[in-house]
Amino acid sequence: MRTLLVSLFLLAFFIISIPLYLVALIIGLFSLEKRAIWSQKVISFVSKAILFLSGVKLTVIGLDNIPKDEAVLFVFNHRSYYDILTCYASMSKKAAFIAKKELKYFPFINIWMVFINCLFLDREDIRQGLNVILKGIEMIKNGYSIFIAPEGTRNLEEEMLPFKEGSLKMAQKTGCPIIPVSINNADNIFEQHVPWVKKGHIIVEYCKPVYPKELDKEDQKQLGKYVRSIIKETLDKNKGSLEF
């Protein structure tokens, strides 16, 4: 039943998106930034609706850890398609995310991703990957936060994959704070029951900011490992609070 409700909602959103695209394009004629902010509000509403229809109980911790007056690099563990929905449903800071290049060609969704300034990464092309990082650095300098999953892909194993150190260069080069984001149990909504959507409890915690330049030299050299340890510790802490 939940799978049907989510599917019908996505179909309705696809139809409604046609006039919404026109609104976004008109806004973009005057300000690309305002178009991104407006589009993110749409995505936030849609994310909340999908979580509701999926029967998700969402617990959000640590919103006060997100700086209000500067861009940040959100670093999260990645186990589910619901991760990004959870992030956009739980916080309102202006932010894009780095996605795999395949999503750039995914009809309907890809347009909204472009509107909110997402960056598409080809994991097989080192030069293109460097260009994405450089664009991300520029966005952060212009006050636009970025979501990134340093595991590099959705990980359906029990333990997190090692974090790719290069994925945190955006914070090292800009000096922006890193917000480790732990997401518990998102894969229990869909990935563990494909193709069915099941109700569940997701806990997302925005941890205290990490400022790379304030760390000792060893932790700066292995920044990915350092941030990963924070997320792992938080995941373990919150695991016991899951209700179903």
| Per-residue pLDDT, 104 | 83
Q: Where are the beta strands (DSSP E) in the chain?
A: 56-61, 73-76, 95-100, 119-121, 145-148, 178-184, 200-206
Which CATH number do you get for residue 119?
3.40.1130.10
**Tens-digit pLDDT profile for the chain (244 aa)?**
899 999 999 999 999 999 999 999 999 999 999 999 999 999 999 999 999 999 999 999 999 999 999 999 999 999 999 999 999 999 999 999 999 888 888 888 899 999 999 999 987 787 888 899 999 999 999 999 999 999 988 887 778 999 998 889 999 999 999 999 999 999 999 999 999 999 999 999 999 999 999 999 999 999 999 999 999 999 999 999 999 8
| Per-residue pLDDT, 172 | 94
131 is a domain residue = yes
| Per-residue pLDDT, 166 | 87
CA pair distance 66, 64, nearest whole angstrom: 5
pTM across the whole model: 0.94
125 is a domain residue = yes
Angle between helices 2-30 and 32-53 (to 10 degrees): 170
244 is a domain residue = no
Amino acid type, 64: D
Q: How many domains does the chain have?
A: 1
Token look-up 């979501």 returns 147
| Per-residue pLDDT, 156 | 79
130 is a domain residue = yes
Structural domain of 50 = 2-239
State the DSSP code for 150.
Answer: T
Cα–Cα distances (Å) from 99 to 1, 2, 87, in that order, read: 30, 26, 14
Q: What are residue 96's phi and psi, to 5 degrees?
A: -115, 175
158 is a domain residue = yes
Cα–Cα distances (Å) from 148 to 64, 77, 121, 143, 194, in that order, read: 20, 9, 11, 16, 24
